Each structure stands twice: as structure tokens, then as C-alpha cells.
Structure 1
Amino acid sequence: MDRSSTTRRRFLLAAGAASSAALAGCNDLGDLGEGSSEEIPLGELPEVPDEGESVPVVADAVPVDIERAKLQATATRVTDLLETLPLPLGAREIPNGYVRGRLVDAADEATTYLDEARSATTRLSALQSLRYARTEARFAAEGWAFVEDGRTKAELRERHRETVEDAEAFRSAHEYRGTDPVRAVVVHAHVEANVRRVLADREPSVYEESGDLLTVAEWGEYAESARTHLEDGRYLYERFTDSLSPGAGSLEGTFDSAADSLVTDVRRRRDELPPEGTPDERDLGWELQYRLRSDAESSAKNVGDGDGAASTVVDATGALTDLLAYERVRNRAEDGERFGAETGADVREARSTALETIRAALTEAERPALARGVLADAAVQVTFADEELARIRRSVRPRRLDDPMRRYVTATVRARSVPEATRQVVAALES
């Protein structure tokens, strides 16, 4: 499933939990870095939401009026799927404890995503959470249908094939209609991303040891993911085009021209990146530069590899942001900044600066609709750093705070780079 910003957040949280555990173990062995060994009291660290309760300060959105009825219909689909299960599932229904646990966990996840949708700050993020709720609920429902009705993989494979055919037909009919090129490019890029998810993978990740029941469940999840991505993409497209005036024409030429010029500029900037230096020490400043440079090179390389000009333009916004963010950090490092925390006040300042910068960038961006997606990713970095701080239960050495500090700084430099990146993209679209 493509969880977009939410998926990325969940992946980062999971990865970060393992990373933090590893770091905690290293700290128990003593101070392995060059920094101060004096511990920072827990009470001096910033107050953050409890683990699992942090919400990004900016969430992704799309300039389309997503109706409440659409969200309610999707939520109803989730509850209908869950109601097919004889919950609570017990050993009498499914004797194998592992298999039973997988279905119960999926049903629980579906319920969690329903709750996330209710508290979402934008209707797009609500729609995304409901999409994940649908796929988890379908996993559980089809696993039980295998037991109750003899559901087969072949049946679900056929349903998925039908969705793929529908997605191919929809992609062929997709037209870049619009009047405002910035608003239109954001919407059409979202539509393309949904269709791309349907067509990108033709087989779910099913392991031989999963057994027949879980194989059917996986195919159910896979078929539902494809169908909901297609339905959501088609819905956004139809809501957007229905909102246009009858005389709205095609923006294909505008998007193609902007995409070509932006790809050229992004690749030129990538080629002009200075060579990586040999660090005297691998401190936080070095790690920030290394990671941001890697992100910049990767995003610049991938611009133009999407399924359409609209996606290329939006991807170029992120690539320009990454390139500018790396330049900012490199300049600060060359000026002698160390980036690491020595006191709790340093952490509090880094966090507040990140939050303030993200909020300001959304206001300062020439076209917030174009900036919001990149800023939502920056906000995820703050959320993840908060989650790491929430796991700290006692005084810590400064080096233990390098990872959350890196994320706060990364969020800040990316957010500060967004207005300039969006100005260039808007200029390309309007030239």
C-alpha cells in the first residue's frame, strides 16, 4: 500500500524505534563520541506529545473540494468489511494462533486508521487514512472469507486484474485540463500518483510459508489497495474538472514546457554540487551534510522519471528544496556551526525553530498549494524527532540527542528552502 506521507511517517517511526534502541544500548557502554559527557536532565528537554500522539504541524492537502459524503462512504466500506468477521476471533474459528493474530491485528489497524481519519487536519489526509483502513479491513475480511466461504487467490487475482485494466483506461483518458496552472498541476500530480500505485506492482508480497489463508488475505489487501487508489484518483480528477468553467482548456503544453526547463535546471544544479570532502570527524554536521547531499542527488536524479509532466513539475519542487537545503547546511558548517546539542535549551530552540519555520514557509510561499506537500514531509521530521524524545525516560548525554537534533535541523533548512523552490516552479509554469 502507498501510504504517502502517513506511510512514510509510520516507516520512519518504526525505523527510529530500532535506531533509538541501538543508540541507547551504545550509551550504556559509555561515551563513544568526542562531545561532552555531562548529561542533560530530562526536565530540560522540550515538552513533546506522548509517544504515538504527535501530529504533524502541516499535513498534505489538495486544492479540490473533497466531500464529507466521500469520506463517509469510504468509512462505511471499512465497517462493512469488518462486520463480516466474527469478532472477537478465537481458537475455535481459527486454531492457528499466528494466523489468527494476523487477522486480529489487521482489524485493529483498520480501526486505528478510522480514528486517524476522524482527527485528520485535512480532508486529503483523512482520505488517505481511510484508504489504509480499507486495505487492512479487506485483509482481515478475505482471510475469514477463506475459512467461511472458500475464497480463492484466483478470484481476487481476477478482481485485481480488472482494476488494472480500468486504471489503464483511466490513464489513457486523463487530460491536463485547467485554468490555473499551479492549482491544476498539484491536482493532476495527485491523480497520477494514485494511478501509478495501481499499475506499478502486479503481485503482492506473499511468502510461501504464509499458507493459503494468509495468501488469500494478502491478495484481498492488494486488490483493495488497487481499487481504492483508482477510486480516489478518479474522484479527485472528476471533482476538479467538474469545478472548471466550460471553456477551460488543456494545460499539456504548459506542463511539458515547465517540466523540461525544471528538469534541465535540477540536473545542472546536481552536476554542480561540490565534491564531498573528507571529514576530520564524523560529527552531526558531517552527518547532516552527508544525508542532505544524498537526498538532493537522489531526488534530482529521479525528477522526470514519473508518469507525466504534472508529476515531474511537483517532483522538481521537492528536488529544488533538497538541493537548496543541502547548500544551506553546507554553508552553515563552513561557517563553523556544530549543530549538536550541549544543553536542553539547544534542543528546545531547535524544535521551536523548526515548527516556526514550517508554519512561516506555508505563509511565505508564493503558492501554498504547491508548497504544502514538501512542508508536510518536513513536518514529519519534527514529528519523528518528537517521538524519539518521548521515549527518553532519564537524563541523557548530548550525543544521544544527535538524531532528533538532525531531524529538527533538516526540517528547518528544508522549510526555509521551500519559498525559493516554489517561486522557481511557479515561474516555470507561468512563463
Structure 2
Amino acid sequence: MTSRRDLLATLGTVSLAGFAGCSALPFGDGQDEKSDDVALPAATVEPISWPESPFPVAVPSTLAETHRDRARELLTAVPVDPAVPNSAVAEELQSDRERAADRLETDTQEPWPTQELSRWRDRRHAAATVRGTYRAATGEDDAEAVTERRRAVRDELSAFVSAHEYRASSPLEAVLVHAPIEELVSDCRRRTRPGSGYPADPVADPFQAGDAVGLVEFADATLADARGLRDAYLADRSNTSAQWVPLSDTSEQLQIALAHTRSTVQDFLEHDEPPFDADLDGTAGRWLFTEASRRVETMAEEHDVYRDDGDYARAILVAGRTLAAIEALRTTIDGINGDAYRDEVTVESVTRTAERAREALAAIDASESPELAAQLCRPALDTVELLPEVIEEGYADAGRVQGELAWAELYARAVPAATAFVSERLG
């Protein structure tokens, strides 16, 4: 789990929530008095086995190799002991270089090739940032080069989007292929917006200069991966056709279904505190309800954004996830009303909940479409995967861990039905 350690080191505990999508992290904010004294051993939550990659064809290893080679090239241009006039800048720059170099020599150990590409883009970004900082600190002004390269990437992105026909052998494969491509396109577009961010005096602010250089490098790498995934798929499939209309129609059907289904739990989404008679403080039920209700709201909002942007492949995936999240919330409500999730939190109760979550996640392979199920189950997979390291690093409150695990179990058990529902509408 080396890449997760990279994240713990570079993002800090607060950012862990954003990475895993877990609102209940970081742990131990003082609200869980009944369980914050339960020390969880590192092995309480065992690592999970991920399903096979849902991307329909093999992802070329050359994509990651290109990022690695480019990152090494960038770092090679920066001395191990950079001679920078400002000693404080020199010290921080040297530390950044060492960290970037260490990450380049560490395996990513990601379960899916698309996730591996993401890690290598991050590492290439870090190397470019170091290189840009060094050049600025030694008197080189890259403002014009950054502006020109950003414009070039933006033009290439525009051409890519214009030619993007959502070709696939079926609507289902169109979702599996083009959802990650849509995400890459969105990331690239966000990083190539006008305005360089490059400082007027790079010597005075070399780290801002480095950030600007790193950002455009990241955008270039992101677009390259979008193009690489599309080309890899089309090279493997001889019979494809444009799937934009089927995806648009399916997305509209799912939008209607979501509006109806969400209305069944709307009353439980309008409370700052869990709307139950019993005191849930310190119980797994409190954190389970908090997570289950938050997931419904954030996924629904995410779905609306993708729909508005015309990213129908991503909208379809998130619609399926939202349906599963709504079912998990309904089960949560029924369980808490039936006095479940209210018992004392112990190491044993967390361990049992972890095992149930693992069993539920393992069962998604038997879904009607294992690839689609794997994509829909991604939020639960991310949640459970992160927890062992969070516990090991000492950030785990037992009540919240059990609540997160309980949510992952309920969500994973709802995924097969959501998968069938989406698959039927894709045809």
C-alpha cells in the first residue's frame, strides 16, 4: 500500500477524506465519547482484494512508462544539492526533489491500470513542479513558455473533444470506456483555463512558478492518457459505432428514476442531526447514518453536474452509484429504527463488521455485469481499502471505523440490483 503512504505523507490527514470520499474522516474529533478510547490493532481491517479492472481492454504499459521517463528527465535537470542563493528555498527545494525522486522508485501497487496511470501523472506533476521551481529560483523566467504550452494543450484538447464520438461496441462498453476518458478531459480542461498563475517575479516566488509549470505538465499528461485509452480501446475492437445517443437517452431515463427514488428518503436528508429518538452518540449508527445520507446528497449533486456538462458516461455511472447509496440509506434507517447499529463499539464488533464488508465486496463479481458492478462499487472499495492504513497511522476512531465499514457493506449489497437496473436501461 505504498501509494497510500505517499498520500498520507503528502496530503495530510484532513485530505484523506477527499481521496476516499469518506466524510467521516479524519477520525477522532471529540464527538464520539463512547468509542474514542477503543484502540484498534492495525490488522482489525484486513486489506481487500479488488475485482478485475472494469476497463474493457488492456491498458498499454507504455502510457505509465511515458510518465515515468518524463518525470525522471525532469528531475535529472535538477541537481541533488541545488545551488540556490536563498538558503531557505534551497533547503525546501532539495526536500521536494528527494521526495519526488523517492516516489519514482516506488511501485504504485494500484489495483487497476487506470489508477496506476493516475499515480504516475501525480509523480510526473511533482517532478515538473520541482523543475519549474529550480529554474525560477536560479533566475530563469518560464512565463512565456508556460503560456504557450497551456495554449497548445488547450488547442489539442479542443480537437480531441471535437473528434470524440463515443465509439464502442455496445452502450455498456461505451460507459466503461468513456467515463474515465470524460474524467481525464474534465481534469485537463480545468488545468488549462486561461491565466497562467506564473508570478511576475519568479525569483521572489519560485514555488508559485513551479506550481504553474507543474500544472501545465499535468494537463499535458492527462490529455495523453485520454488519447491513449481511447486509442487502445479502438485498436482492440473492430466493430464499433457512435454511442452518444444511447448514452444520452439512458442518462435521461436514470435521471427520472433518481428523482423518484430520492424522494423516498428526502425527509432523512434535511436534518443536521440523525432524526432518531435514541441517543446515537458514540455508536456506529451515528456515523453510518451520517455517511449514508451524505453519500446520497453528494452523489446526486455530482450526477447533476455531469448531466449538465454532457458527460453522459460519467452521469450514468454516478446514477447507478446514487441508486445504491439510496438503498444503503434506506437499509440504514430501517436498521437503526430496529435498534441495530447501537451496541457498544469494541475491537470485536469492528472486526465482525469488517468481515461482513469484505464478504459483500467479494460478492459483486457475481453481478450481472461484473465490470459495471466494479465501477459502481468503487466508493465502497476505496473506503475499505484506505481504513487499514488510517488505523495503522493512528487516526482511527473505532466508532467511525465501524460506521464506515457498515456503510460499505450496505452499499456493496445494493450494487448488484443497481447494476441490473442500469444494465437493463443500457440495453
TM-score, normalised on structure 1?
0.82
2:118 to 114, 128, 136: 128
* Paired residues of 1:143 and 1:217 also in contact (CA < 8 A): yes
- Structure 1 CA distance for aligned equivalents of residues 167 and 367 of structure 2: 24
What is the TM-score normalised by the length of structure 2?
Answer: 0.83
Q: Say which SS state the counterpart of residue 66 (structure 1) adopts.
A: coil
Return the alpha-carbon distance in structure 2 between the equivalents of residues 208 and 333 of structure 1.
58
Alignment of 1:7-406 (within 5 A): 13-15=13-15, 23=28, 26=30, 33=33, 35=34, 46-47=43-44, 57=50, 61-89=54-82, 92-98=83-89, 100-102=91-93, 104-105=95-96, 107-109=98-100, 111-112=102-103, 115-117=106-108, 119-148=109-138, 150-201=140-191, 202=193, 211-245=204-238, 247-276=239-268, 278-280=275-277, 281-283=279-281, 284=283, 285-306=285-306, 307=309, 308-339=311-342, 341-361=344-364, 363-392=365-394, 400-406=397-403
Stretch of structure 1 that moved more, 135-144 or 206-215:
206-215
The Cα of 1:279 is off from its aligned counterpart by 3.4
Give, as a single letter, the amino acid of the residue that structure 2 aligns with 1:312: A
Q: Does the 8 Å contact 1:64/1:236 carry over to 2? A: no
- Once residues 317 and 23 of structure 1 are traced to their aligned partners in structure 2, the CA distance between those partners, rounded to angstroms, is 32
State the distance in 1 between where 2:94 and 2:219 align.
20
> CA separation in 2, counterparts of 1:14 and 1:381?
15
Tell me how far 1:232 sits from its aligned partner: 0.3
Hey, what's the Cα distance between the residues in 1 that align with 2:200 and 2:333? Answer: 48
Q: State the Cα RMSD in Å.
A: 3.4
Contact 1:147–1:213, Cα closer than 8 Å, also in 2: yes
Aligned residue number for residue 406 of structure 2? 409
Q: Report the CA distance shift for 1:15/1:330 in structure 2 as closer, same or farther (over 3 A).
A: same
Gaps of 5+ in 1: none
State the alpha-carbon separation in 1 of the partners of residues 38 and 301 from structure 2. Answer: 41
Structure-2 separation of matches of 1:225 and 1:132? 7
Q: Identical aligned pairs, as a percentage? A: 19
SS in 2 for 1:115: coil
Which residue identity is paired with 2:390?
E
Q: Distance in 2 between matches of 1:311 and 1:392?
A: 35
**Counterpart AA for 1:259:** S
Distance 1:178 1:143, change over 3 A: same
- C-alpha displacement at 1:73, in angstroms? 2.3
**Residues 59 and 220 of structure 1, relative CA distance in 2, 3 Å threshold:** farther
Q: CA deviation at 1:187?
A: 0.7
Whole-angstrom distance in 1 between the partners of 2:200 and 2:354: 46
Return closer, same or farther for 1:131/1:207 CA change in 2, 3 Å cut-off.
Answer: same
Aligned CA distance change for structure 1 residues 64 and 339 (closer, same or farther; 3 Å): farther
Give the Cα separation in 1 of the matches to 2:201 and 2:401.
Answer: 38
* Letter of the structure 2 residue corresponding to residue 364 of structure 1: A
Deviation at 1:139, TM superposition (A): 0.2
Q: Distance in 1 between matches of 2:12 and 2:414?
A: 22
Quickly say closer, same or farther: Cα 1:254–1:390, change in 2 above 3 A: same
1:27-70 deviations in whole A, cap 9, x for unaligned? 9xxxx74x489x65766x74457xxxx67745865223212233
Structure 2: tracts of 5 or more residues without a match: 18-23, 269-273
* TM superposition shift of 1:354: 1.4
